Amino acid sequence: MKFLVFVEQRDTVIKKSSCETVRAARNLADVLGAECIAVLIGSGVEAGAPGLGQYGASRVLVLDDPALAKHSSTAYARAIASVAAAEAADIVFLPASQMGKDLAPRVAVKLHAGLAADCIALRADNGTIIATRPVYAGKALLDVRVTSPVKVFTLRPNVFPATVAQGTATVQKADVALSPDDFGAVVTNVDVAVGRPDVTEADIVVSGGRGMKAPEHFALIEALAEVLRAGVGASRAVVDAGWRPHDEQVGQTGKTVSPALYIACGISGAVQHLAGMSSSKYIVAINKDKDAPIFQAADYGIVGDVFEILPELTAQLKQTLGT
């Protein structure tokens, strides 16, 4: 058996979610006796290839082409499917990042493969693979089996550990010929804010809700986030009120997050919000209403005034962490 893992890079830097995906694929490959191959696509990306060995890739196929410097879902998908076909890969893994979600369906159709998207667990079961994926924004879990000969899985970022181990990867050139017709959709510009991590990628997320009372009070959330180098999230209520941008919304109609630590400030915990964050490893709730549903989901709670607690928490952490 052969597993092929698509490795995402941005500006030649390999994304953590891809390292997680390589490691998860390798762990499964060890159980099933499969080879774990990575495919790295972009321009000037070859230097990053050998490092994938420490996440478990035994071989890295590199497609280095100036035309592929920026993402093109159509061209990247063509390249991945070509490599998968040439290698006769049984399974293709991709991170369920925005790029991975853009590519996986195209790769699956080209390979006549079934696709299990946004998986949070994989296990071998009598030679087949059972994947677990959250549905209804995590209110339920589905165990699925892909029944087609070739299979595609995307793995949710921040769930599988990117464990490092001794290992070296052989680096080879991927032999893929792309034509201008393959570039049906092309990215012409990328604008990524530096500094604060996205809520879906952050190890820690600090989130605010209606209990913050006014948009300007989110400065307290941002200050805590800065000390913790955390992402900033928001409840639907404050996004709908226009206090925060929609890309910060956590919940069923926003982003689903699974950081190591989620700090909910002035968030009551509506069902649709809980759905988006309950897979966080640890949850802290700060809310003055002791009956707020958020305390049911929280590991640690402070029943108190966010305007009193937050500045104190920020100040003490600043001292402890020296940030």
Contacts of 29 (CB under 8 A, 6+ apart): 1, 3, 35, 36, 56
Structure-token pair, residue 86: 């040439």
Tokens at 125, concatenated: 């079961």
| Site for other proteins contains 312 (CB under 8 A) | yes
Contact 145, 130 (CB under 8 A): yes
- CA–CA separation, 102 vs 106, rounded Å? 8
**Contact with other proteins (CB under 8 A) among 233, 254, 266, 269:** 254
The correct pick among 1, 35, 101, 222 for binding other proteins (CB under 8 A) is 101
Q: Which stretch binds other proteins (CB under 8 A): 27-35, 44-52, 166-174, 302-310?
A: 302-310
> Which listed range, 42-50, 52-60, 84-92, 250-258, lies at the site for other proteins (CB under 8 A)?
250-258
Both structure tokens of 166: 């001794």
Tokens standing for 212?
Answer: 């913050």
Binding residues for other proteins restricted to 107-166, rule: CB under 8 A:
108-110, 113-118, 130, 133-148
> Which of 216, 222, 215 is CA-nearest to residue 237?
215
- Minimum CB separation of residue 301 from other proteins in Å reads 5
The Cα 254–Cα 244 span in angstroms is: 12
Residue 58 or 132: the one with the smaller Cβ distance to other proteins is 132
Q: Where in 7-46 is the site for other proteins (CB under 8 A)?
A: none
Structure tokens at 47: 């230097």
CA-nearest of 180, 209, 185, 226 to 273 is 209
DSSP β-ladder status, 204-208 and 59-64: unpaired
Q: How far is the CB of 48 from other proteins (least distance, A)?
A: 18
Closest CB to other proteins among 5 and 297? 297
299 binds other proteins (CB under 8 A): yes
Q: State the amino acid at position 122 in one-letter form.
A: L
- Interaction between residue 97 and other proteins (CB under 8 A): yes
CB of 59 to other proteins, least distance (A): 27
What string marks each residue from 190 to 219 as x (binds other proteins by CB under 8 A) or -? xxxx--xxx-xx-xx---------------
Give the number of residues in contact with other proteins, rule: CB under 8 A.
Answer: 97
Asked if 173 is part of the footprint of other proteins (rule: CB under 8 A), the reply reads no
Residues for the chain: how many in total? 323
Which of 85, 86, 186, 219 contacts other proteins by CB under 8 A? Answer: 186
261: contact with other proteins by CB under 8 A: yes
